[in-house]
């Protein structure tokens, strides 16, 4: 079973494809999916989030737990913070890859700004976790130091395996672990390796993390519908291959279950 911290269905495909996609993947080994709104190129106003999901028949997929997240809160420069109460969001990320009025993105240079600090307090009040996935290092440290609520990273890989501006350093991982945060290893090919990414590439990142930090804070953040995953991991059923590879490395079923779904469920409980 998989609990996916990050799936870009809501803004990665057209609305008329939602139900077809969910009908297909919910027949696979899926425990839960957090559906993320990538808003960078959208004009978000009050009512947007609710209207986007209003026609999805989630009741047809009772075997799967669904949650919501927001990737890039740039729109809060012109919208009230109350918009964060529009849906029961599991987590929110202040930026995408570029600087905005809240903080510095992974490819930017800014730091956490006053509006971003206000959002951190509101997120804590609403029990919404703060996602550090798209922050630059400067903003990452400021957010983790300033945030009184839950912190996490929904989808990334690890710099000591493959360097990329979106991947976490060992110091960043340690800070999240010390805060009892979770980190979702992603299937984004550009974050996994220089050449063609495969399931083996994902295993390398998982094993690096577990050997250095243990299995209890690691999760899955696929980034399906927002990235090009390895060809052998393009659907949730592909995680069976990861499970086989991890078992061959000596991982226990308990550790695999934690990484695949239990750590995420415990974090949000």
Tell me which residue has tokens 């905005």.
100
3-state class (DSSP) for residue 159: coil
Domain that includes residue 21, residue range? 2-268
> Residue 146: in which H helix or E strand, if any?
helix 137-146
The total of structural domains in the chain comes to: 1
DSSP 8-state assignment for residue 45:
-
Question: How confident is the model over 30-49, as pLDDT tens digits?
Answer: 999 999 999 999 999 999 99
Tell me which residue has tokens 């592909």.
238
Question: How confident is the model over 214-262, as pLDDT tens digits?
Answer: 999 999 999 999 999 999 999 999 999 999 999 999 999 999 999 999 9
CATH for 260: 3.20.20.140
CA atoms within 13 Å, Cβ hemisphere of 214: 10
Separation between Cα atoms, residue 233 and residue 82, nearest integer Å: 38
Question: How confident is the model over 4-32, as pLDDT tens digits?
Answer: 999 999 999 999 999 999 999 999 999 99
């Amino acid at each position: 079973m998989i609990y996916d911290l990050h799936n870009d269905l809501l803004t990665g495909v057209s609305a008329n494809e939602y139900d077809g996609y969910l009908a297909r993947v919910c027949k696979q080994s899926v425990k839960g999916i957090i559906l993320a709104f990538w808003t960078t190129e959208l004009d978000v106003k009050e009512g947007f989030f609710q209207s986007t999901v209003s026609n999805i028949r989630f009741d047809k997929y009772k075997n799967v737990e669904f949650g919501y997240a927001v990737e890039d809160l740039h729109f809060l420069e012109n919208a009230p913070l109350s918009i964060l109460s529009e849906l029961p969001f599991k987590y929110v990320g202040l930026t995408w890859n570029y600087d905005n009025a809240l903080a510095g993105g992974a490819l930017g240079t800014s730091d956490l700004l006053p509006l971003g600090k206000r959002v951190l307090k509101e997120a804590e009040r609403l029990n919404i976790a703060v996602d550090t996935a798209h922050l630059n290092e400067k903003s990452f440290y400021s957010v983790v130091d300033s945030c009184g609520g839950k912190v996490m990273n929904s989808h990334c890989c690890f710099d000591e395996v493959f360097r990329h501006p979106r991947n976490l350093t060992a110091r960043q991982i340690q800070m999240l672990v010390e805060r009892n945060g979770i980190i979702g290893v992603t299937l984004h090919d550009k974050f996994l390796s220089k050449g063609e990414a495969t399931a083996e590439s994902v295993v390398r990142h998982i094993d690096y993390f577990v050997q250095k930090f243990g299995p209890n804070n690691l999760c899955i953040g696929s980034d399906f519908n927002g990235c090009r995953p390895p060809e052998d991991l393009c659907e949730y059923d592909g995680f069976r291959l990861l499970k086989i590879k991890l078992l061959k490395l000596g991982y226990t079923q308990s550790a695999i279950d934690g990484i695949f779904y239990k750590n995420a469920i415990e974090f949000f409980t």
